[in-house]
Amino acid sequence: MSNQSNPNYFRLGAFVLAAIGILIAVILIFGSGQLFKKSFMVETYVNQSITGLDTGAAVRFRGVKIGQVTYIGLSGALYEDKIPFGERRQYVVVRMQILGEKLSEEKIKQFARNNLKATIKSMGITGVNYVEFDFDSRSTDYAALPFSWTPEYPVIPSLPNKADQIILGIQKMIDAVNHLDIEGTQKKFDSLITNLNVMMAGDAKDNGGLIYSVRDLNVLLARITKVTDKDELNILMRELVGTMVALRQTVTSIQGDTSLTIDNLKQTSEQLNEFTRIASQSPSSLIWSAPPPKIVLPLNGTQEQSGVQK
């Protein structure tokens, strides 16, 4: 009976070995790209709950898959085991394997210096999370988490997810409201209302209030309307025009007299210059020569000279 069962065992063993060989061949054919692809490790620290993020979750850079999560643990167990429990930071340490031929560890370090951040995001209503890499310039609003240990792999700073950012913003707003001087603001508002009431109604002294000012303005407008209706404004305008015409005529007359006076002064100056010239050339002529002709001042804009009297 054993002789009859030996061929069956042989066939069964050959079948198992063939199946194992086929499985290994399939793995080598379809998985060789992943097995022999260059990769390196990075890690990030999270100071919040990472519910929904498990080992094997995708790591994406702007939506493109570049690796996967390989380890999730606590910094207290990895780096802070010798630090007192009360002084531990208790960050969540997420380690990731980054795959790629052109993406190297040095490039990731350079990207991290240029605000490359890691954020845990949700894939939708499924509750499954993944790690998203992207550049973010809000480093002043969300500083990198501080740590005092030497990391085993390059560290990518993390950002809180959208929900935590909203909660953090609400907390900041509540803190700002708590620091507001509401009582002082209310007192200033009451003082403003009191001043407005005084401005409107007056203070029973020199200030009659805005209401009385409006009444006075209405009276003034009524008087202006009354003057306009009686044509007194038109009469005043005609008198003003007449006054301007008379003033213009007076100015014109004064300009004519001024021109005549200037001409006379010019002639007198010329004669005086001539007299000075003769006196400087022949001083004796002033004594021995005949007297100069008599100068007759012009009359009514005309210039006449009389004969020489000897």
Average pLDDT over residues 157-173: 77
Res. 229: pLDDT tops 80: no
Q: Does residue 78 contact residue 93 with C-beta atoms inside 8 Å?
A: yes
* Number of Cα atoms under 13 Å in the Cβ half of residue 125: 0
CA distance 149 to 88: 11
169-180 pLDDT tens trace: 787 788 777 777
CA distance 271 to 300: 20
- Could you tell me the residue ranges of all domains in the chain? 39-159, 180-256
- What pLDDT band is residue 92 in, cutting at 50, 70 and 90? very high
Q: What is the largest CA-CA distance in the chain?
A: 193
Q: Specify the residue for token string 């009360």.
A: 86
Query: First-to-last CA distance in the chain?
Result: 193
Res. 155: pLDDT tops 60: yes
pTM of the complete model: 0.48
Higher pLDDT among residues 128 and 306, named by residue? 128
Buried b (16+ CB within 10 A) or exposed e, 112-124: beeebbbbbeeee
Range ranked top by mean pLDDT from 57-61, 198-202, 297-301: 57-61
Mean pLDDT of the chain: 76
CA distance 90 to 84: 11
Average pLDDT over residues 1-17: 69
Beta bridge mates, 65: 60
